[in-house]
Structure 1
Amino acid sequence: MSLQAVEYQEKSPTRWALAGLALSMLTPSLDTSIANVALPSLQQAFGVPFAAVQWIVLAYLLAITSLIVGAGRLGDLVGRRRLLLGGIGLFTAASLACGLAPGLGWLVAARALQGLGAAVMLALSMAMAGETVPKARLGAAMGLLGTMSAVGTTLGPALGGMMIAGLGWRSIFLVNLPLGLLNLWLAWKALPADRPVAGRARFDTLGAALLALTLGAYALAMTGGGWPMLGAAGVGAALFVLSQRWSRSPLLNLAMLGGSGSGLIMSALVSTVMMATLVVGPFHLSQTLGLAPALVGLVMSAGPLVAALTGAPAGRLVDRFGSGWMILVGLGGMAIGLLALANLPVGLGPAGYVAAIAVVTASYALFQAANNASVMRDVAADWRGVVSGMLSLSRNLGLITGASAMGAVFAAAGMGAAFTVAAGLIGLALLVGFSRARG
Structure 2
Amino acid sequence: MTSSAAAPTLSARRRTLALVSILLSTLTGTIDTSIVNVALPKLATDLHVAPSETVWVATAFLLAVACSVPATSALGDQIGRRRLYLIGVPVFTLASLGCALAPTLAVLVAFRVVQGIGSAVVLAVAIPLIRRLFPPERLGQTLGLNAMTVAIGTSAGPTLGGLILAALPWPWLFLINVPIGVASFVLALVVLPKGVPERGDYDWPGAVWAAGAIAALLVGVRQLAAVATLWHALVLLVVCAVCVVLFVRRERMAARPLIPLGLFTGPFSLTVGTAWASFLGQGIAFVALPFLFQTAYGASPLESALLFTPWPLVIVVVAPLSGRIADRVRPAVLALTGLVVLTIGLVMLALLGSAPPIWLVLLSTAVCGLGYGTFQSPNNRDMMAAAPLRYAASASAVLNTNRTVGQSAGSAVVSIALVVSGAAAGSMAAQSSAASAVLWVAVVAAAAATILSAVKLRVTAAVPLGR
| Bigger helix fraction | 1
Percent sequence identity over matched residues?
A: 32
Task: Report the CA distance between 1:41 and its aligned residue.
Answer: 5.5
CA distance in structure 2 between the partners assigned to 1:164 and 1:329 by the alignment = 36
Residue 299 of structure 1: aligned partner: 307
Amino acid at match of 2:178: L
> Number of residues paired by the alignment?
429
8 Å contact 1:35–1:172 — kept in the other structure? yes
* 1:383-402 correspondence to structure 2 within 5 Å: 383-402=391-410
TM-score, structure 1 as length reference: 0.83
Distance 1:136 1:369, change over 3 A: farther
Task: Report the CA distance between 1:25 and its aligned residue.
Answer: 1.8
CA distance in structure 1 between the partners assigned to 2:45 and 2:346 by the alignment = 37
CA distance in structure 1 between the partners assigned to 2:303 and 2:170 by the alignment = 22
Residue 74 of structure 2: aligned partner: 73
3-state SS in 1 of match to 2:447: helix
Task: Report the CA distance between 1:242 and its aligned residue.
Answer: 1.3
Task: Report the CA distance between 1:157 and its aligned residue.
Answer: 3.4
Amino acid at match of 1:431: A
Of 225-234 and 136-145, deviating more is: 136-145
Task: Report the CA distance between 1:131 and its aligned residue.
Answer: 3.1
3-state SS in 2 of match to 1:113: helix
Amino acid at match of 1:230: L
8 Å contact 1:135–1:377 — kept in the other structure? no
* 1:119-138 correspondence to structure 2 within 5 Å: 119-135=120-136, 137-138=138-139
Of 119-128 and 97-106, deviating more is: 97-106
Distance 1:166 1:332, change over 3 A: closer
Residue 209 of structure 2: aligned partner: 210
CA distance in structure 2 between the partners assigned to 1:93 and 1:412 by the alignment = 33
Amino acid at match of 1:202: D
Task: Report the CA distance between 1:255 and its aligned residue.
Answer: 0.7
Task: Report the CA distance between 1:205 and its aligned residue.
Answer: 0.8
Residue 426 of structure 2: aligned partner: none
Residue 436 of structure 1: aligned partner: 460
CA distance in structure 2 between the partners assigned to 1:13 and 1:429 by the alignment = 42
CA distance in structure 2 between the partners assigned to 1:163 and 1:62 by the alignment = 25
Task: Report the CA distance between 1:423 and its aligned residue.
Answer: 4.1
3-state SS in 1 of match to 2:323: helix
Task: Report the CA distance between 1:88 and its aligned residue.
Answer: 0.8
Task: Report the CA distance between 1:53 and its aligned residue.
Answer: 5.9
Residue 262 of structure 2: aligned partner: 255
Of 266-275 and 166-175, deviating more is: 166-175
Amino acid at match of 1:254: L
3-state SS in 1 of match to 2:326: helix
Residue 238 of structure 1: aligned partner: 245
Residues 3-22 of structure 1 deviation map (CA, whole Å, 9 limit, x = unaligned): xxxxxx97655443332222
CA distance in structure 1 between the partners assigned to 2:278 and 2:150 by the alignment = 14
Distance 1:163 1:54, change over 3 A: same
8 Å contact 2:222–2:415 — kept in the other structure? no
1:311 aligns with 2:334: no
Residue 186 of structure 2: aligned partner: 185
* 1:153-168 correspondence to structure 2 within 5 Å: 153-164=154-165, 166-168=167-169
CA distance in structure 2 between the partners assigned to 1:302 and 1:153 by the alignment = 13
Residue 200 of structure 2: aligned partner: 201
Task: Report the CA distance between 1:129 and its aligned residue.
Answer: 3.0
Residues 307-366 of structure 1 deviation map (CA, whole Å, 9 limit, x = unaligned): 222232332333444634433343343344445555688998432343343233233223
Residues 249-304 of structure 1 deviation map (CA, whole Å, 9 limit, x = unaligned): 3211111343633322221111112223324434555666x463354331211111
CA distance in structure 1 between the partners assigned to 2:361 and 2:122 by the alignment = 34
1:28 aligns with 2:60: no
8 Å contact 1:142–1:315 — kept in the other structure? no
3-state SS in 2 of match to 1:33: coil
3-state SS in 1 of match to 2:33: helix
Q: Cα RMSD over matched residues?
A: 3.5
CA distance in structure 2 between the partners assigned to 1:351 and 1:30 by the alignment = 26
CA distance in structure 2 between the partners assigned to 1:255 and 1:218 by the alignment = 23
Amino acid at match of 1:252: I
8 Å contact 2:63–2:408 — kept in the other structure? no
Amino acid at match of 2:305: G
8 Å contact 1:341–1:419 — kept in the other structure? no
8 Å contact 1:244–1:252 — kept in the other structure? yes
CA distance in structure 1 between the partners assigned to 2:327 and 2:77 by the alignment = 26
Amino acid at match of 1:251: L
8 Å contact 1:140–1:315 — kept in the other structure? no
Query: What are the ranges of 5 or more consecutive residues in structure 2 without an aligned counterpart?
Result: 1-9, 225-232, 418-432
